Amino acid sequence: GVSVSEELKQSFLDMHLVVRELQSHNLMPALEWVKKQEKARQGGAGARNSSLEFKLHSMQFIKLLTSEGCKPALAYARQNLSAFAGSHMLEIRQLMGCLLYHNNISRSPYKELLSETHWEGIQQDFMRECCNVMGQACESPLLVASAAGALAIPTLAKFAMVMGKKQADWTQMDHLPVEIELGHAFTFYSIFACPISRDQASPDDPPMMLPCGHVLSKQSLTKLNKSNTKPFKCPYCPSEQKFGDCKLIMF
Amino acid sequence: VVVAGRKEGSEAERRRRGGEQVESRMEVVEAPFVRVPFEALKRAAKERKYIIEEVEGVMGKLKKHASSAEARRAKEGEATTKDGGEAMDVDGSPAAAATASAEGSRGSGGEWESELDDLLGTLGGLKRKLGASTQSEGVQIGRCKARVEHLLSLGAYGSERALGWNKKRVKRLVVDYLLRQGYHRTALQAVEGDAALGPLVETEVFRGCQEIVDSLRSRSVGPALKFCRANASRLKRIKSKLEFKLRLREFLTLVQAGSMGEAVRYAQKHLGRWASVHQKELQAAMASLVYRPYLDSGGEGEGGRKGAAQERYGHLFAAAQWEELEKIFKRDFFALNCLAADAELALDLEAGLSALKTPMSSSAQRSKEDPLSVEALGKLAATLPFAKHSKSKLVCWHTREVMAEPRVLPNGMVYSAAACELLAKEGKIQCPRTGDVFELGELKKLFPV
């Protein structure tokens, strides 16, 4: 049995409620959430949150401009956007430009600001920020794992076909028998594979840097050093190195 | 109709194959998904063929009656033959044909009439069956179409779009899993919430399966036997042992209850025909007849015999046997309906978690984005193999971006050049992981290749 804390469930429920409001173009709950986070984070590094907050405010500005007119929009801007003058001046200038076209933004050079993609984007951004604050992954782990599986299955199926029935049970192996390229979206850690031995780095076999700047695994380095008593040569650049000068590195 | 369905399926396949090499790999992943309603459609079409054959048979008989009636009328010289002959055409009015020939043969007696009435009744029944068959075909075609459209809407399949592609699939995979495990109500709730999901999952098929599984759980073999009889020929084709096992189980239940006479009669009636095929098992079961009394507690002097009996025949009466039956039934049921033996979700997760598994997933430095850092998934992945990487994939610890130009600090920590720029303050740089401060000049370029 898997147990999920009530607190976590509630946080997710709250998040979904706000997202639903965003879907019907209501920004108020999201803005309230952001304000709550600011208060909780008082004095800490507020920089991370600012782009989401700014986006919310600018969308609210556009909304007010199209529905209620110049004055309320301008008042809103004075109240909320001035804090972002330092970081988002370019965007603020664009928003001010919109004021000129308040009657028909859809025919102005700023019509892109009205597009639906902004609303979809803001939902995604909000969910990411929320998950971040909750300490949860930004993408559902089930989604990521099954997406990786969908990419991996054809390769594994081919392997099973090629190897025949006897050796095809890859689930019992220590390491997967074939390499599966998943792409950047699935890379969460640095993986160092020594170019010489083609083995992955592990706590017993960490990457080492030679003074010339090239990197090998510790085992490959030890092997190179064993063969000669003299200082050995780096396999890449033909400069001589001493074993003692090599340093353990961490990616 | 079969041709139309096949055309749709192959056209979609062609469209898919027409894409890149990588796109055709999607077939490996999704093939069972489209096959299930397609096979159901084929079966419905076959059924329709049989019904049509029966109808033709009945029409043939009617024709015979009509022609004999004609002959009689010709003899008697009446002029209503024309109507009788015309009404012989299919589709339209078998009733009219029947009445015409009934009229024509009125002269020759009531036995023709009663036969014709029977034929009329048969035709009516066949018409109803045909209607039902057409309807079920329509449903299956609808499902095939919905699934093909769903697959096309998923878009291109490849590692760059993997997450977006999979978002639409995951819901369906989860509901399919729920259905397989028997969580029917939850699955139905999910389907009700999302209209597009309905034709993508086999709610009806699994409901039927669950009913029989429930009956097996309550130690009753009736519904399962019904299933066997209804699908006898197909079960035979896949060499299913299901019916034999069910009959054996009933026999052993009788033996366990102590009604030996009844058990023997049951065996004579039902188990006889499996004698050649499953001889060993049958022999063991028969022997249990003899040893059954020894399995009860009591009988001190029979201590030795009891031990032997328990050893060899005790397992036949264990509760685990019913679970075995359940498994066998499920396996054969899935095979008949072209369903995969395991849930697609389970396969995906197994492959995916393994492909994502690195030694760091269980260490203290694990990233919260890594699915294996979730406790439940980590547990699932515990026995799976690690992923294999023959090329380095370096990610800057600070920016989480692909490592572009690595720089190493004197303490051995490596960051990308962009990260170093971000971290630099007044010519100094502080390592985010250890807190040590260094001069910017102490950075060295790294070439991990």
Q: Please answer yes or no on whether A171 and B354 come within 8 Å at the CB atom.
A: yes
Nearest CA in chain B to A199: B390
Distance separating alpha carbons of residues B409 and B445, to the nearest angstrom: 9
Nearest CB partner across the interface for A150, out of B162, B445, B446? B162
Whether residues A146 and B348 touch (CB distance < 8 A) is answered with yes
* Interface residue of A124, A127, A162, A191 to substitute, partner B, most B CBs within 10 Å: A191
- Scan residues 163-192 of A and list those with Cβ closer than 8 Å to B: 170-192
- Report residue B6's pLDDT band, with 50, 70 and 90 as the boundaries: low
Residue whose C-alpha is closest to residue B173's, from A150, A182, A60, A183: A150
Give the total residue count for chain A. Answer: 251
CA pair distance A70, A67, nearest whole angstrom:
9
How do B406-408 and A247-248 pair as beta strands?
A: unpaired
Residues 6+ apart with CB under 8 A from B308: B291
Calpha distance B410→B444 (Å, rounded): 8
Eight-state DSSP code of residue B267: I
pLDDT tens digits for range B224-256: 888 888 888 888 888 888 888 888 888 888 877
Collapse the DSSP code of B414 into the 3-class scheme (helix H, G, I; strand E, B; otherwise coil) and give the result.
strand
Using a CB-CB cut-off of 8 Å, the residues of chain B touching A215 are 446-449
The answer to whether B350 contacts A149, with C-beta atoms less than 8 Å apart, is yes
Residue B386 is nearest to which of A175, A193, A213, comparing CB atoms?
Answer: A175
Q: Indicate the residue of B170, B345, B356 with minimum beta-carbon distance to A148.
A: B356
- What pLDDT sits at residue B90? 42
The pLDDT of residue A168: 59
Which residue in chain A has the smallest CA separation from B173? A146
Residues of B in contact with A202 (CB under 8 A): 359
- Cβ B368 vs Cβ B388: under 8 Å: no
- Which residue does chain A place closest to B384, by CA atoms? A171
Amino acid at A109: P
CA distance B268 to B262: 10
d(CA A213, CA A234): 10
- In this prediction, residue A43 carries a pLDDT of 52
CB contact under 8 A, B29 and A251: no
Q: B182: closest CA among B330, B341, B33?
A: B330
CB A174 within 8 A of CB B387: no
A137: which chain B residues are within 8 Å (Cβ-Cβ)?
A: 368-371, 373-374
Which tokens go with A183?
């792409």
Q: Which residue of A130, A144, A192 to mutate against B (max B Cβ within 10 Å)?
A: A144
Which of A3, A130, A146 best tests the B interface by mutation, with the highest count of B CBs <10 A? A146
Q: pTM (2 decimals)?
A: 0.71
CA distances in angstroms from B346 to B68, B103, B177, B335, B375, listed in the order given = 67, 67, 8, 18, 17
| Test the A interface: residue of B366, B392, B399, B407 with most A CBs within 10 Å | B392
Confidence class for position B375, pLDDT limits 50, 70, 90: confident
Tokens at residue A93, please?
A: 């200038």
- Contacts with B, A 49-108, CB within 8 Å: none
Judging contacts by C-beta atoms under 8 Å, the chain B residues touching residue A168 are none
Edge-to-edge strand order for the sheet containing B414-416?
A: B414-416, B406-408, B444-445
Give chain A's residues under pLDDT 50.
46-48
Residue pair B146/B8 in contact (Cβ under 8 Å)? The answer is no
Q: Taking 70 as the threshold, does the pLDDT of residue B37 lie above it?
A: yes
Q: Testing the interface with B: which of A173, A190, A214 to mutate, by most B Cβ within 10 A?
A: A190
Residue B76: pLDDT over 80: no
pLDDT digits (tens, 9 = 90+) for B131-186: 888 888 888 888 888 888 887 777 666 667 777 777 778 888 888 888 888 888 88
Contacts of B449 in chain A (CB under 8 A): 195, 214-215, 236
Contacts of A145 in chain B (CB under 8 A): 348-349, 352-353, 356, 371, 377
Please name the residue of chain B whose CA is at the shortest distance from the CA of residue A216.
Answer: B448
- Judged by CB atoms closer than 8 Å, whether chains meet at B348 and A145 is answered as yes
Distance CA B243, CA A211 (A): 74
In chain A, % helix, strand, coil (3-state, to 5) comes to: 60, 5, 35
Nearest to B360 among A183, A189, A214 (CB): A189
> Whole-angstrom distance between the N-terminal and C-terminal Cα of chain B?
60
The per-residue pLDDT for range B279-335, each reduced to its tens digit, is 887 887 777 777 777 666 544 445 566 676 667 777 777 778 888 888 888 888 888
CB contact under 8 A, B355 and A151: yes
The greatest distance separating any two alpha carbons of chain B, rounded to the nearest whole angstrom, comes to: 124
Question: A161 touching B, CB under 8 A?
Answer: no
User: What pLDDT is stored for residue B5 in this prediction?
Assistant: 47
The verdict on ipTM greater than 0.85 is no
Nearest CA in chain B to A248: B412
Q: How far is B200 from chain A (nearest CA, A)?
A: 18
- According to DSSP, the residues that pair with A209 across neighbouring strands are A215, A247
Taking residue A65's Cβ as centre, other Cβ atoms within 10 Å add up to 23
**B183-229 per-position pLDDT tens digit:** 888 888 888 877 777 777 888 888 888 888 888 888 888 888 888 88
Residue B34 buriedness (CB in 10 A; 0-12 / 13-18 / 19+): buried
Best B368, B409, B416 residue to mutate vs chain A (most A CBs within 10 Å): B368
d(CA B68, CA B115): 14
CB contact under 8 A, A146 and B169: yes
Asked if A141 and B412 come within 8 Å (Cβ–Cβ), the reply is no
Residue B24 confidence (pLDDT): 53
**pLDDT in the model for residue B81:** 43
Can you read off the two tokens belonging to residue A122?
């803001």
3-state class (DSSP) for residue B9: helix
B448: closest chain A residue by CA: A215
Mean pLDDT of B111-138: 84
3-state secondary structure A188-210: CCCECECCCCCCECECCECEEEC
In chain B, what residues touch A210 (CB-CB under 8 Å)? none
DSSP state of B371: G
Cα–Cα distance for residue pair B27/B9, rounded to 1 Å: 12
Residue B1 has pLDDT above 50, yes or no: no
- Residue of A145, A190, A209 with shortest CB distance to B356: A145
Tokens standing for A199? Answer: 């083995």
Q: Which residue of B has its CA nearest to A189?
A: B395
CB contact under 8 A, A149 and B377: no
Name every chain A residue with its beta carbon within 8 A of the beta carbon of B174: 142
| Confidence bin at B86 (pLDDT 50/70/90) | very low
* pLDDT tens track for B407-439: 888 888 888 888 888 888 888 888 887 888 888
Q: H helices of B194-341, where?
A: 203-217, 222-230, 232-237, 242-257, 260-266, 279-291, 303-313, 320-336
Spatial distance between the Cα atoms of B69 and B115, rounded to a whole number of angstroms: 13
Task: Tell me which of B20 and A129 has the higher pLDDT.
Answer: A129
Instruction: Give contacts of B163 with chain A, Cβ < 8 Å.
Output: 139, 143-144, 147, 185
Q: What is the mean pLDDT of chain B?
A: 76
The rounded distance, in Å, linking the Cα atoms of A88 and A95 is 11
- Pick from A149, A180, A213: CB nearest B387: A180
- pLDDT in the model for residue B21: 39
Asked whether the beta carbons of residue B385 and residue A175 sit closer than 8 angstroms, the reply is yes
Residues linked to residue B395 through DSSP beta bridges, in sequence order? B402
End-to-end CA distance of chain A: 37
Q: From the list A173, A188, A195, which residue is nearest B369 (CB)?
A: A188
Cα dist from A178 to A194, A201, B345, whole Å = 17, 18, 21
Q: Which amino acid is at B377?
A: L
Q: Rounded to a whole number, what is the distance in Å from the CA of A134 to chain B's nearest CA?
A: 11
